[in-house]
Amino acid sequence: MSTDIEKIYTEKIGVLPMVAEYLMKMNFINAIDTIVEPLRSNTRRLSHGQTAFIVILFLICRPHCMYKVEQWVADTSYLKLLIPEIKGEYFTNDRITYTLKAIFNAKVKNLFSAQTINVIKAFNLDV
């Protein structure tokens, strides 16, 4: 008698899908990529918007120091559904630092204004 046994893998994802959906609904990645100067070389890297998106998910889902982001990305299969080309090795401390510096240099208040407008539109807020 031959039986096929499927391997079942479970993973605790918590609020990750909900937070990701809200960020996508408010066009978070595009807003950053529109305002922030792009990377000079984008080989094996994600955009600043995508990097910031993952960093926010990490901080909300794993509220502690910016430690082991690479490992979290590699171990979290849900992220591969959101960004298929994602790899843990894209999230070194240096890479995250480049994104944070680029956002700072782009004038954070411009980014805040753009995100505020996106939130108002996405959630049909009466202001």
CA distances from 101 to 37, 83, 107 (A): 10, 23, 10
Q: Please count the other Cβ atoms lying within 10 Å of the Cβ belonging to residue 65.
A: 7
pLDDT digits (tens, 9 = 90+) for 4-52: 777 877 888 889 999 999 999 999 999 999 999 887 776 557 899 999 9
pLDDT digits (tens, 9 = 90+) for 48-68: 999 999 999 999 887 677 788
Angle at 23 between CA 35 and CA 67, to 5 degrees: 90
In this prediction, residue 39 carries a pLDDT of: 79
DSSP category for residue 89:
G
Nearest to 103 by CA among 31, 44, 54: 31
CB 86 within 8 A of CB 46: yes
Confidence of residue 1 (pLDDT cuts 50, 70, 90): low
In this prediction, residue 24 carries a pLDDT of: 94
CB 54 within 8 A of CB 86: yes
